[in-house]
Amino acid sequence: SKYSKEDILKMAEEKNVRFIRMQFTDILGIVKNVAITFKQLEDALDNKIMFDGSSIDGFTRIQESDMYLRPDYDTFTIFPWRPEEGGAVARLICDVYMPDGTPFAGGPRNVLKKALKEAEEMGYEMNVGPEPEFFLFQLDENGEATTKTHDNGGYFDLGPIDKGINARRSIVLALEEMGFEVEASHHEVAPGQHEIDFKYAPALETADNIATFKFVTKSIAHEHGLHATFMPKPIFGENGSGMHVHQSLFKDGKNVFYDENDRLGLSKTAYHYIGGLLKHARAITAITNPSINSYKRLVPGYEAPVYVAWSSANRSALIRIPAARGAGTRLELRNPDPSANPYLAIAVMLKAGLDGIKNEIEPPAEVLENIYEMSAARKEESNIESLPANIDEAVGLLLEDEVITSVLGNHVLEHFAAAKKVEWDEYRTQVSQWELDKYLSTF
Ligand code: ADP
Ligand code: MG
Ligand code: MG
Ligand code: MG
Ligand code: MG
């Protein structure tokens, strides 16, 4: 690993770190943390920090509530935005362990590690590059988030129209101070919408980066008097926020998706990975698009994918193959959104792809037409299925897929399905303004 225990103690001392946040993620992707003081850091690095798991949603029952946090040394980072005078704040991302020393089955990071182990046994390392989008909204006089945007900017617009540019610049600078390699940041299509892309990395590091990214973005936006939201579709009629996920497999430092002799420059392994992802696409959507609101983004007419197909050329397909070849050969899955738990989302994508490789699943022919403009009959003829229309349907498809459920494990699956059922029941009994407008006078 990058840092030793001594390195961390030394860095913390030199930078006058007073508090360390021991960070982990619950099943629904919410970042939790236990703050410790500098004095406890050595114990923490020796895996001696305990917390009460029963108070974390979906974690454990009261009887077995003591759980341990095992920090991943490589994730040690000092937050750049706290004044040094008050003492700096650092964080460590942790794995959750049971008192008997086994990894906790409900820990999303443990789930991803399990999936990565399977890849490793096949000789593969997974690389992942995400493109998270988000909105910056104004706060009202009580400091509560609104859906009022601060600008009327559009795709790739430059200031002064793009008033979010200052906030976005601070976010990028903070990320860079924390070691992120930011490749691109730009205004997105909708007013108030932005995207920050950071460089791909091994899967676990990227999942940690996504969790950190969301937290940093919210904190810095707040300093600028704005609210950052990763809610997938906050404004009716505008594009929603997605998080395209670029992925590739490497073996001995070489990208195994590349084959210069193939017509498209893709290897058999790449085609099989695509075959697996497409086969399980409808089942993994519950994890990659886990909120009620996710499905308001996955509708025709915007830039989000709706149909299960792949393409080396067009962006209406669920899976696109970006033009880069060689080390940059990769595929892009376009349905995930930033409300997903990054650990679980990457775990299920990888599992689907590995299943394709193991079972040599050939993908259907690529689709070169714009699928949004294809007739229903033409789609039927080409066997193009749709993604689930809502979270209830999505969870049903997830539960039927034994390959995908096997990587999540019973603990995560049961808790996830139960939480989504409550959410769905809550939602479907609401009477919305749309219904009142539509029916109140008509009937
Ligand atoms: P788009 O054209 O969809 O906007 P980009 O070309 O901006 O996508 O690429 C986005 C992401 O792809 C970045 O995070 C980048 O680091 C990542 N990426 C590049 N090469 C690879 C690779 N071999 N494996 C996984 N991700 C990669
Ligand atoms: Mg991009
Ligand atoms: Mg790009
Ligand atoms: Mg984008
Ligand atoms: Mg993209």
Summarised one tens digit per residue, pLDDT across range 82-98 is 665 678 999 999 999 99
What contacts 435, CB < 8 A, 6 or more positions away? Answer: none
195 catalytic? Reply is: yes
- B/e letters for 32-71, b = 16+ CB within 10 Å, e = fewer, are bbbebebeebeebbeeebebebeebebbbeeeebebbbbb
| Residues 332, 322 contacting (CB under 8 angstroms) | yes
Q: Distance from the CA of 278 to the center of ligand 3, in angstroms? A: 23
DSSP 8-state symbol, 266: B
Write the pLDDT tens digit of every residue in 382-394.
888 999 999 999 9
Which listed residue (7, 13, 52, 380) is catalytic? 52
Residue 65 has a pLDDT of: 75
- CA-CA distance, 345 to 363, in Å (whole number)? 21
Prediction pTM value? 0.95
Instruction: Specify whether the CB–CB gap between 256 and 119 falls below 8 A.
Output: no
Work out the number of other CB atoms within 10 angstroms of the CB of residue 414. 15
Q: Catalytic residue at 91? A: no
294-338 pLDDT per residue, tens? 999 999 888 899 999 999 988 789 999 999 999 999 999 999 999
Residues 6+ apart with CB under 8 A from 53: 59, 60, 64, 65, 66, 67, 96, 104
The residue nearest atom 20 of ligand 1, judged by CA position, is 328
For every residue of 313-335, DSSP letters joined together read: S-TTSSEE--S--GGG--EEE--
Q: For a substitution probing ligand 1, which of 133, 195, 197 has the most ligand atoms within 8 Å of its CB?
A: 197
How many helices, marked H, and strands, marked E, lie in the chain? 12, 17
From ligand 4's centre to the CA of 188, what distance in Å? Answer: 6
Residue 51 confidence class, pLDDT cut points 50, 70, 90: confident
Q: pLDDT of 129-166, one tens digit each?
A: 999 999 999 988 998 999 988 776 555 555 555 567 88
Per annotation, catalytic residue among 70, 150, 194, 244: 244
334 carries an active-site annotation: yes
Nearest Cα residue to atom 12 of ligand 1: 129
CA 131/CA 187 separation, integer angstroms: 13
Report the nearest atom of ligand 1 relative to the CA of 129: 14
Q: What ipTM was predicted for this assembly?
A: 0.96
Residue 431 CA to residue 24 CA, distance in Å, equals 36
Cβ atoms within 10 A of the Cβ of 299, count? 13
Atom of ligand 1 nearest to the CA of 320: 3
188: annotated active-site residue: yes
- What does pLDDT average to over the chain? 92
